Amino acid sequence: MMIKCSRCNNKAEYVLVDYRHEIVDEGEVFCGHHAFDENREKCPCCYDYWIEVYDGDTKCDVKLLPTYPQGTLDSEGCCSEHP
Ligand SMILES: [Zn+2]
Ligand SMILES: [Zn+2]
């Protein structure tokens, strides 16, 4: 199964999550081009932290990388998962 970017028709590679890697709201997903647009933030600790995506209640076997809404990351620019 392929999930498309919320902004274009490219394959989604990132999902919008909060500080604890919980998928945010509508579960917006983005391709590599759009992942960090609109002031979304990238955490240096979890470049390989794969998040399983659910379609309703069903796991759809897609794993995406995290992208964070502006202001989510802490003063060190990291999520809850510090190395
Ligand atoms: Zn896109
Ligand atoms: Zn992180």
pLDDT of residue 35: 98
pLDDT of residue 61: 77
Q: How far is the CA of 51 from the centre of ligand 1 (A)?
A: 18
C-alpha R_g of the chain: 12
Q: How far is the CA of 7 from the centre of ligand 2 (A)?
A: 23
pLDDT of residue 30: 97
Give residue 60's identity as a one-letter amino acid code.
C
Give, in order, the Cα–Cα distances in Å from 63 to each of 2, 3, 44: 10, 10, 18
pLDDT of residue 29: 95
Over 70: is that where the pLDDT of 1 sits?
A: no
In order, the DSSP letters of 28-42 are -EE-TTTTT-TT-B-
5 alpha carbon, closest ligand = 1
Segment 15-55, tens digit of pLDDT: 999 999 999 977 799 999 999 999 999 999 999 999 988 77
Segment 51-79, tens digit of pLDDT: 988 776 777 778 999 999 999 999 999 99
Measured distance CA(16)–CA(35) in Å, rounded: 8
